[in-house]
Structure 1
C-alpha cells in the first residue's frame, strides 16, 4: 500500500478494515458509539507508530468497523537501510525493490496490523485468529 505515486514523502490516507468488516472497535447503540477493549489496543498501537517509524506523523479516526488514518512521512536523510541489506540491495533503484521498504506505508501499516493482531490474540482465549 502506497500513497500517491512512488514518492514516500507526504500525506497518505489509509483505510484499514478488519476481516469481513467486523465491528472490532465498537458498536453503535441508540446513535452512540460504544467502544470496545480492542479499540483501546488499536488506538495505542496507532499512537506508537512514530516511536517505531521516526519519519511518521499520524492522525486517525476509528469507526466501529475500520480505521481511517493519515500518515504523513517526512524527509529524514538520517534514515538508511539496515546494514545487513547488503551493498547490492542498496544500489538497486527503488522501483526494483519488492515488498515493504524501510519506513514506507506498507511497512508502517503492516507493523500496525501485526502489533494489534498479537495483542488481540493475547487477550482472547483463541490465539492465532486472523484479524485483518
Structure 2
C-alpha cells in the first residue's frame, strides 16, 4: 500500500471518528510511530522518502480541509457533512496537525514535519 493511501486512511478514520484536539494529536502520533515501525528496516534514504511523501500528501489534505472540509470528505469517499459543530472540530484537528509539524520542525527534527522528538536524529 502506498504511503499516500495510508495518509488517506488516517484522514478517513479521523473524520469519521470526529477527532479533535488531544485526540487528533494522539491519533496522528500513533500513525507516525506505526509508520516508523513499518519502515524501520528500510535504508535511511528510503525512510526519509517515505516520511517526505507522507508529509507532502498530508499537507495537501490539510490544505483541502482548510478550504472545504466537505470537498475532502468527498475526495476520500465519505459523505459530506455540513454541520457547524463538526466543522469546528475538524478545524481544531487541522490546526493540531499543522501545529505538530511546526513545533517538531523547530526542535531538532530532520524537518520532515511528521516525526516526534524521539525519532529525530
TM-score, normalised to structure 2, is 0.29
TM-score (norm: length of structure 1):
0.28
Query: Which structure dedicates a bigger proportion of its chain to strand?
Result: 1
Larger radius of gyration: 1
